Amino acid sequence: MSVDSSHPALTGLGHGRCLVIGEVALTHDGSLGLAHAFIDAIAAAGADAVKFQTHIAAAESTPSEPFRVKFSRQDATRYDYWTRMGFTAEQWAGLAEHARERGVLFLSSPFSIEAVDLLHRIGMPLWKIPSGETPNTFLLDRILETGAPVLLSTGMSPVAEIDAAVARVRARGVPVGVFQTTTAYPCPPEKIGLNLMAFYRDRYQCWVGLSDHSATIYPGLAGVALGMDLLEVHVTLSREMFGPDVIASVTTQELRQLVDGVRFIERMRANPVDKEQSARETAHLRTVFTRSLVARRDLPAGTVLTAEHLAIKKPGTGLSPDRLSDVIGLRLARAVAADQLLAADDIEGLAR
């Protein structure tokens, strides 16, 4: 199935517009209805893409695969969990169509060759390679056959492994992006690694971004301010939901704040301010916000002015306060009232 390459998230990629991906992963907990609800919620929050994970248990795992962390009371083994998380090809196609109807890109990370083939038939505008699969050359080579851009996560990869994966993608002439990823759920601030995005951009001359597991909107906003191209955040409908990724997710309400912040920052970055032009544009406000020299009390003509005779008050339509030292010791040419703004003509011998 073809995909819409005219989506603004694709045409703007690398041109100052950050691709914002709302990551559902497996937080749908095997419920097709909940998966569709996530699409609606993430689209309503303004994200560019909704992303799932496609696990085909028999192609990916063995029945003896243990849980890394036993989080599910419902599933005896990890294999059982993968089985329960699976959808049919028709159901995946329905999810993809729903996303397109809502104007968001449909993405899903494959965890087997069979999953790549299934998703390719549906139509993938981009491939997101999860951290654990970055060194999986068999999977990567099958994905590269599709010709769609590849986004690499780096959470468990040393630099040499990232070098190899980027080179493998480039050798096939496929566009590539690199996510800074820290495999910690949730990820604390000191391990986010925003500095590595500049390192990746300099090293690979490619799209760079952040796959964020902090459960906050702050790293994403900071990364966009630094000019990153890609942002992926885990999303939950509520922090009371079940699933291993909920603890590292933002809510859909927070996703809305994040997207609004991203677009605000993009507009700031795209519109550098010329200070001189800005000053000219606000010149009409200077008289409102600046100040003048005024008489502190009623003063008769001929008064020799001292600092005690004068105050500095708004508006700025009278004699500028920076003339204070010029007027001290000069005589008033005429009487002035308390709070009267002084003008040059009020003072004998004052140079214009």
What's the Rg (C-alpha) of the chain?
Answer: 31
Closest CA to 118 of 52, 162, 69: 52
* Chain position carrying tokens 């914002």: 20
What is the C-alpha to C-alpha distance for residues 8 and 1, in angstroms, rounded to an integer?
Answer: 20
CA dihedral 204, 209, 214, 217 (to 10 degrees): 150
Is residue 352 in a domain? no
Clarify whether residues 262 and 329 are in a common domain. Answer: no
Shared domain check, 321 and 180? no
The reply to whether 220 and 305 lie within a common domain is: no
Per the structure, the count of domains in the chain is 2
Tell me, yes or no, whether 328 and 251 share the same domain. no
3-state secondary structure 145-156: CCCCCEEEECCC
CA 14-20-23 angle, to 5 degrees, is 135
If we measure between CA atoms, which residue out of 140, 141, 162, 142 comes closest to residue 153? 162
Q: Does residue 277 lie in a domain region?
A: no
Residue 40 shares a structural domain with residue 85: yes
Residue 116 in any domain: the answer is yes
Q: Mutual orientation of helices 89-101 and 113-122 as an angle, nearest 10°?
A: 40
CA angle 292, 294, 299 (to 5 degrees): 160
Give me the CATH number covering residue 73: 3.20.20.70
Domain range for 298 is 283-346
Instruction: Kindly give the confidence (pLDDT) of every residue in the chain, 352 residues in length, as a single tens digit, with 9 standing for 90 and above.
Output: 445 677 888 999 999 999 999 999 999 999 999 999 999 999 999 999 999 999 999 998 888 777 777 766 777 788 888 898 899 999 999 999 999 999 999 999 999 999 999 999 999 999 999 988 999 999 999 999 999 999 999 998 999 999 999 999 999 999 999 999 998 899 999 999 999 999 999 999 999 999 999 999 999 999 999 999 999 999 999 999 988 899 999 999 999 999 999 999 999 999 999 999 998 998 888 888 999 999 999 999 999 999 999 999 999 999 999 999 999 999 999 999 999 999 999 999 998 7
266: which residues sit within 8 A by CB, 6+ positions away?
16, 17, 18, 224
In a domain, 319, yes or no: yes
Residue 80 to residues 58, 70, 88, 110, 112, Cα–Cα distance (Å): 10, 12, 16, 18, 17
243, 270, 297 — which closes off a domain? 270
- pLDDT (0 to 100) of residue 1: 47
Rounded to whole angstroms, the Cα distance separating 41 from 31 reads 15
Are 199 and 292 in a shared domain? no
CA distances 30 to 98, 133, 142, 189, Å, are 17, 22, 26, 31
Residues 91 and 192 in one domain: yes
Residue 92 half-sphere exposure, CB side, CA atoms within 13 Å? 26
Q: d(Cα 210, Cα 219) in Å, to the nearest integer?
A: 8
Please state the pTM of the whole predicted model: 0.88
User: Which of 240, 270, 300 corresponds to the end of one domain?
Assistant: 270
Residue with tokens 């699409």: 39
Q: Residue 4's pLDDT is what?
A: 61
Q: Are residues 172 and 305 in the same domain?
A: no
User: What are the tokens at 179?
Assistant: 């996510």
